[in-house]
Amino acid sequence: MNLDFTNQQVPDATTLCKFRKHLVDNHISRLFFEAINRSLEQHGRLLRGGTIVDATIIESPSSTKNEEKARDPEMHQTKKGNQWHFGMKTHIGLDTCSGLVHSVTATAANVHDITEVHKNIRNDDEVVYVDSAFIGIELRDEIIYDSDKFNIDFCINNRPNSYKKLHEGFARDFEKQLERCKSSVHTKVEYTFLMVKGIFGYKKRQFIVV
């Protein structure tokens, strides 16, 4: 940002927040993201052919103690397991080889993970790794009627412990090992979520319009 700390004051949080909003409103942050990905591809750090897709909830306070006495209309609540969450959801696509993020979309928390998959798949991807929340993705219209995505091989994890329904023996052991192989690839996405929530601090955020 060409700041000279010897004779200039560091911008305060409000200034940085307004600057970030300016980038988003004018779609400049998306241009930065795409430029970085192009640079990574040119230097052989971002490869093609395979993608890992997953989503995570970014929580926001559900309190209505504000001037409008209402929740943010862009946020919604959703139930995961036995717990309710309020906020937004980040959907990402990662390169299977490098684990680097190549696409991102955001929705309200109540939007199902499977609805955003086609937006985070590249046209030249040959294989896509997803967990059991995406079972049935290969039958959706946005996949079936897209000539670039129709032939993609979707490696989908079965529901937890589904292999236990099989009888003891080779079939059960093979299915268990297959699930481990798929999970070993898909687990790369967890590091990205760690970065977003643990380092960037988006485990729970208050989204403010400036």
Most confident of the ranges 139-143, 157-161, 202-206: 139-143
Cα–Cα distance between 61 and 87 in angstroms, integer? 8
CB-based burial, 25-58: b 16+ in 10 Å, e otherwise:
eeeeeeeeeeeebeebeeeeebeeebbbbbbbbb
Determine the pLDDT at residue 66: 62
Cα–Cα distance between 74 and 24 in angstroms, integer? 16
User: How does strand 83-95 pair with strand 50-59?
Assistant: antiparallel
Most confident of the ranges 3-12, 132-141, 164-173: 132-141
DSSP conformational letter for 204: B
Cα–Cα distance between 160 and 135 in angstroms, integer? 12
Tokens of 194: 């760690």
For the cut 50, the answer to whether the pLDDT of residue 208 exceeds it is: no
pLDDT one-digit tens code per residue, 25-60: 888 888 888 898 889 888 887 778 899 999 999 888
Tokens of 18: 């307004």
Domain residue ranges in the chain: 12-45, 48-199
Cα–Cα distance between 176 and 174 in angstroms, integer? 5
| Residue 128's pLDDT band (cuts 50, 70, 90) | very high
Determine the pLDDT at residue 115: 93
